[in-house]
Amino acid sequence: MLENKTTSPSAKKSFQENLIQRLGPDEGRALDVLGEDFFYLVDLLSNELHQKHMQDAPLLGLSEAEFPWELQVFSNQFLRECAQTAQELTTFCHGLRNKLEDLEFSKEFWNILDEAYQHHFYVSDSKDQFLV
């Protein structure tokens, strides 16, 4: 489904690859109904957050290997909450993927995502550390 899957053992796995590994091939592939745009966006959002906040993993008590998966889970939840209903998720993701090409919209969207990240991963030590 995704074009840029990696085969290198040290490379980060896509969200879909992680789901297949955790759920099994049949259950993981059943999620194909969510659409290519959904999986593309989860990977895009989680990769951007990882690049911006890679130093947050120790503060959150996560290993370097766990942090990308937690960001994928967060991005999945974020996209699902943005859509009005589960039925609208694929349409929403397709529209969002296209809309992110608009520079002004993109800037505002990344600000909203970062704020959601801060809220989701906030820990009391974050004021003095990395998250705020």
Distances 6 to 19, 55, 75 between C-alpha atoms, Å: 15, 24, 20
Per-residue model confidence (pLDDT) at position 8: 38
**Helix (H) and strand (E) counts in the chain:** 7, 0
Indicate whether 3 pLDDT > 80: no
First to last CA, the chain: 36
Neighbours of 4 (CB within 10 A): 7
pLDDT digits (tens, 9 = 90+) for 17-68: 999 999 888 887 788 888 999 999 999 999 999 999 988 988 888 999 899 9
Q: What does the pLDDT look like over 88-99, one tens digit per residue? A: 999 999 999 999
Token duo for residue 26: 């049949």
Report the chain's mean pLDDT, rounded to a whole number: 85
pLDDT tens-place string over residues 65-87: 899 999 999 999 999 999 988 88
Question: Which pLDDT does position 27 carry in this prediction?
Answer: 83
